[in-house]
Amino acid sequence: MTKEEYKNIRDLAWYILRETKVNKLPVNIIEVCAKLDVKVRSYDNDHHFAKNYKNGFSIILNNSDKIIFYNKAIKNKYRNRFTIAHELGHIMLGHNTNENNKEYKAMETEANMFAIRILAPLCVLHEIKLDSAKELAEICALSKQASNIRFKKFEKAEIENNFYSDPKEAKLVMQFENFIKKYIKQKLKK
């Protein structure tokens, strides 16, 4: 993936957070989908969908309705949140599932990148002075695995002081300003 492709995915996640007026963590991904006119539905392991789609999938119907399906038999609510964000990524990135295996893998990577960036924006984590992957998991309602991966990226960005090179990032932080102040205040009380 090129730096430009990465930046486009990041910018799309920031744009959606801004346009849907998200201003606190954890991001209510169901509400974000609703504001984007994307329906979210569930199925369970008894449904024929479960044979081909363990976690979930998304479709765009001929009438342009966009629907995300997730497997409610998966009892890990953090996994389901990530699946919904991942499938929203497929929709928003315009992915076509009829691609070959190599292109499919690339689309899966892109959807994962989108999901983690919309659920755990680094600039907000930077402002709350994030301390650990455990704190990230709690504040962003992410699985341990996703939190560990995102925290490594966060630590690298902190070391490189890789924040505010893009004015869109500052706008997003301003949108979260009240949440950040409240969170820091609570953190100092502990």
- Residue 182, CB half-sphere, CA atoms under 13 Å: how many? 8
State the pLDDT at residue 14. 96
Angle at 50 between CA 93 and CA 92, to 5 degrees: 10
Give me the mean pLDDT over the 152-177 stretch.
94
122 pLDDT tier (thresholds 50, 70, 90): very high
Instruction: Judge whether 87 and 57 are in contact, CB under 8 Å.
Output: yes
Give me the mean pLDDT over the 106-129 stretch.
96
**Please, what is the average pLDDT of the chain?**
92
Give me the mean pLDDT over the 160-165 stretch.
90
Percentage helix, strand, coil, to 5, in the chain?
60, 10, 30
Burial of 19 (0-12, 13-18, 19+ CB in 10 A): exposed
Please check the confidence at residue 72 and state whether its pLDDT lies above 90. Answer: no
Decide which of 176 and 3 is more confident. 176
Angle at 39 between CA 17 and CA 90, to 5 degrees: 60
Cα 24 to Cα 155: distance, rounded to the nearest angstrom? 21
Please check the confidence at residue 183 and state whether its pLDDT lies above 90. Answer: yes
Q: How many domains does the chain divide into?
A: 1
75 pLDDT tier (thresholds 50, 70, 90): confident
The residue range of the domain holding 44 is 3-189
Instruction: Extract the tokens encoding 177.
Output: 């300003």
